[in-house]
């Protein structure tokens, strides 16, 4: 992936913003947020703002933890997917695994 937040340990990752980035092509997931199998990591409050995502590969948000790891508070603000305004998870083309979709917010507020 091009923008990756991935952990296998007990990390606490919070308040991270990726902003004003153009992703033209990715061999796998252009954006990949993953908590590994044996990780107790807590990932929260990640913001992807003004990101232009090209290509057909899915955005991945995946919690593989079997020991209490969690992903909460992921937001996509004013992003474009293949030049279309990202106004929903469907337009974003997101693959979600073991994460409550209510923890993923998609916002388009540009005029």
Half-sphere CA count of 73, side-chain side, radius 13 A: 11
Measure the CA–CA gap between 63 and 55, rounded to whole angstroms.
24
What pLDDT was estimated at residue 1? 67
Placement of tokens 């979600």 in the chain: 96
Q: Count other Cβ atoms within 10 Å, centred on residue 107.
A: 14
Residues of the chain with pLDDT under 50: none
pLDDT of residue 110: 72
- For the whole model, what pTM was predicted? 0.93
């Amino acid at each position: 992936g091009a923008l990756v937040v991935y952990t296998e340990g007990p990390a606490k990752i919070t308040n991270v913003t990726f902003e004003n980035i153009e992703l033209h092509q990715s061999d796998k997931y252009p954006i990949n947020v993953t908590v590994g199998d044996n990780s107790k990591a807590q990932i929260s409050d990640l913001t992807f703002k003004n990101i232009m995502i090209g290509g057909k590969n899915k955005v991945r948000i995946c919690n593989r933890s079997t020991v209490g790891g969690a992903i909460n508070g992921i937001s996509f603000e004013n992003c474009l997917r293949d030049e279309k305004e990202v106004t929903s998870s469907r337009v974003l083309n997101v693959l979600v695994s073991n994460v409550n979709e209510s923890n993923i917010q998609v916002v388009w507020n540009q005029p």
